[in-house]
Structure formats: C-alpha cells, structure tokens
Copies of this chain bind each other. A is one copy, B any other.
Amino acid sequence: MCELLGMSANVPTDICFSFTGLMQRGGGTGPHRDGWGIAFYEGKGVRTFHDPAASVNSEVARLIQSHPIKSHIVISHIRQANVGGVCLVNTHPFQRELWGRHWTYAHNGQLTAEIFDWPLGDYIPVGTTDSERAFCWLLGEIRREFPKAPTLAEEQERLSLFIQERCDRLRSLGVFNMMLSDADRLYVYCTTKLQWITRRAPFGEAVLQDVEVKVDFGSETTPDDVVTVIATEPLTTNETWHPLKPGEFIVFRLGEIEHLSEENPPLPVS
C-alpha cells in the first residue's frame, strides 16, 4: 500500500508543512520506501518531482520541504510497491494530456490482474503497475465520452458523475483510493482510507503527527484563504479530519467541495 496527499486551495499555497509530515512515512515512521512523487499545479502548468528512493532519505524531498512552492492543487504519493518493480517508471504521480490540460493521478491500493484486460483507449501505460494501467483506462474512457472539454456547468457535473461511475467500476477490482486533477479540480475517490480537512479563518495552530513540528496558520494566511488537505491518514494530532466513506467521491475546487457523491451526504464541518 501507499500514502496519498492532496491539496486544493483558493490561493497559491505551499504544502511544506503537510509534506514534512508525509515524507516521514517514506521509510521513517512508515514503511513506504519504494519511491515518492509530487505534482504542483501553477495555473495550467504543473511541475512534478519523482524519486525512486525513499522520501525520508531524499535530497529532492528535503528541497521541497525547505523551499516553498506555491500551488493551488497538489498531488503527492509515497509508494510501498506491490504490483510493478521499484523504478522511476512506476513512481506516481502519473500524467497525461487531455483537451490541452495536464492530468495528474496517483493511486493507493491494489487492483486484481483483470485491470490488465480492460481495453485501453488513446493512452498507453509506460510502466508495469496496475495503478498506471487504471489511469490510462480511466482517461481513455473520459476522452471517448467527452471528446471536447466541458464548458457549461451541467457538462462539468456530467463529467464528475462519469468519473465517479468509472471509479466505482475500478473499485470492483479491489482497493482504489485515488486523486486526479486537470489543473482546475481535484477529484478524490475513496475505497478504504482517505481523510480531509478544510482550513479557513479563523486559522489556528496545527501539530504534525509524525515529527515534532507545528505551524501557526494564522501568521501565514489571509482571512479569505480556503485550503483543503486530503491524506490517507490524518497528518496532524490536534485537528478534526473527516474520513471519506467507502465509495465516496468528492470534487474539490478552490478549496471548496463542488461535487459530492449523493449517497454520502457531506460530513459536518468542525
């Protein structure tokens, strides 16, 4: 299994604090030694760092921890390999272009080998993981159903429902905790383990679980900032994180929930 970390914010925000917690689990407090990666969206652009080494030992991870990159969407993944060897080509997040947008995806879980029989569309895996195979299948399905990008709100809602339905199918093959983004929205699907928290004014102090670090968000934010963080396990000890239910699907945009799977009503905001 692996660990996921995502962020959706209404202002460019750095993820140094949460990433500092996550990287400890990459061979430190957690067993996820088989590589890590992170993607930062800046407008429609995205920059990605991949390292097949354990994050707790990674020079690149140390740089990201100490060198704030402001972003409105982040997807990060630390890997404990099951299907597919430990190498750069199998290191999440994975990316492809659709409609002139960079799509980024990371997966935690394991799917049965049946995924390798599902017919692909226009995207072909480069590596050997079930995760990248599922991504190529999913994006191929989206491209087939939506040859052009949704422009109207109702088209976007139809796209969200379509992604949700395809994630339900993937979940039928095993554990499928997933984050997906097109530079505008962060799509999150849960089979077993994902939790989220939205931070907004009045901001308080947060204390990391995996390493002795705390931050006072009040001194780093403005009153209008809205920042949602999603992670496999809560990263802080003094805040209330909201667990997603099995089969729950949430679309975040600018830090807020835009779409939520119907059978799972919103959890109360603390």
Contacts and interface: CB of A to CB of B under 8 A. Distances in A.
Interface in A33-71: 42-52, 59-60, 63, 67
A211 interface: no
A245 to B, nearest CB: 34
A199 interface: no
Given A59-B67, A67-B59, A45 B126 contact: yes
B49 A49 contact: yes
Given A60-B63, A102-B126, A126-B101, A50 B47 contact: yes
A259 interface: no
A97 to B, nearest CB: 6
B97 A45 contact: no
A59 to B, nearest CB: 5
Contacts of A47: 48-51, 88
A45 B100 contact: no
Interface stretch (A2-10, A72-80, A117-125, A217-225): A117-125
Interface residues of A, number: 33
Given A49-B49, A96-B97, A97-B96, A127 B63 contact: no
Contacts of A127: 44-45
A123 B100 CA distance: 7
Contacts of A48: 47-48
Contact of A122 (B59, B60, B88, B122): B122
A87 interface: yes
A253 B23 CA distance: 37
Contact of A43 (B43, B49, B88, B123): B88
Given A59-B67, A63-B60, A96-B97, A89 B45 contact: yes
A102 B125 CA distance: 10
Interface of A: 42-52, 59-60, 63, 67, 87-91, 95-97, 99-102, 122-127
